[in-house]
Amino acid sequence: MRLRCAVLDDFQDAALRSADWTPLQDRVEVVVHREHIVDEDELAAVLADFDIVVTLRERVPFPASLLDRLPRLKLLVASGMRNSVIDVAAAERGGVTVCGTASSSTPPVELTWALLLGLARGLVTENNSLRSGGPWQQTVGADLHGRRLGLLGLGKIGSRVAQVGLAFGMHVSAWSQNLTKERADEVGVELAASKEELLENSDFVSIHLALGDRTRGLLGATELALLKPTAYLVNTSRAAIVDQDALLAALHEGRIAGAGVDVFDVEPLPAGHPMRTAPRLLATPHLGYVSQANYATYYSHAVEDIQAFLVGEPVRRLG
């Protein structure tokens, strides 16, 4: 009898097209689920008959309460090598092996710049107007050359965003709680004296920090008030780093020029969520990691993880 594998949240029906799954066909039946399941009871019922689950990034939490209801589950594969919504310890207690995949930092870098450029040049407003027969030219674009880009975080993604900013002729500065002048010099950017200084002096602020106890709520109403009224904020990292109510208030009151957001407090975003209708907001549905090359890596590595598990030699284990 073949094992059963559920592939979750394949919104674009891309999983089976992104990798060669044929090496598994004799031993594993693969079932793709395109709709996101929020309710834990429903998810437990859907997954009850599966031995293997492939989940994409952190779309679906796997707390102990869910894992305890899946006695047949033996392998959980999540894309990426870091996942904050899987209780790995509970999985191990229940005899579930948890594995990950490689993940590229290139797609979120590119999306960061798509959002920043879209905001700066009013692309959505102008495109909508052009296609609907509206006014010819409504906005005056914000220049990048000579302006200051402030980066919260200068890790793998932040440093690559910095390089693009420098190529545009921007002045780039960065800050994080552990950032040193040596690291800033290595990337070729200025070290901001403080978070407050960075926010006050930047024309564009982009967030590239991991979510943790020290970064949750890092930008609240007080911090957002430091931004210039002509400044733009971009967040392709994690929604909880920014106080969402404070951001909505700043956008509605016109206290910042705009925001580009790819991450939300609830995903997928409910139909009536205020982020869907906020002014001065360019928003995308968490596309930072969604690219052809990244999906090819995710799903080809998922196949490899399953193959290795089947022969008793799991690879890329998490935890």
Which residue among 110, 200, 267, 304 is the active-site one?
267
Which residue among 148, 160, 208, 238 is the active-site one?
238
DSSP string of 242-300, one letter each residue: B-HHHHHHHHHTTSSSEEEE---SSSSPPTT-GGGT-TTEEE-SS-TT-SHHHHHHHHH
Is residue 286 flagged as an active site residue? yes
Q: With contact defined as beta carbons under 8 Å apart, do 205 and 232 qualify?
A: yes
Q: With contact defined as beta carbons under 8 Å apart, do 139 and 122 qualify?
A: yes
CA 175 – CA 171 distance, rounded (Å): 14
CA 318 – CA 90 distance, rounded (Å): 12
Is residue 190 flagged as an active site residue? no
Residues linked to residue 77 through DSSP beta bridges, in sequence order: 54, 99
Residue 259: which of 288, 229, 287 has the closest Cα?
229
Residues with catalytic function: 238, 267, 286
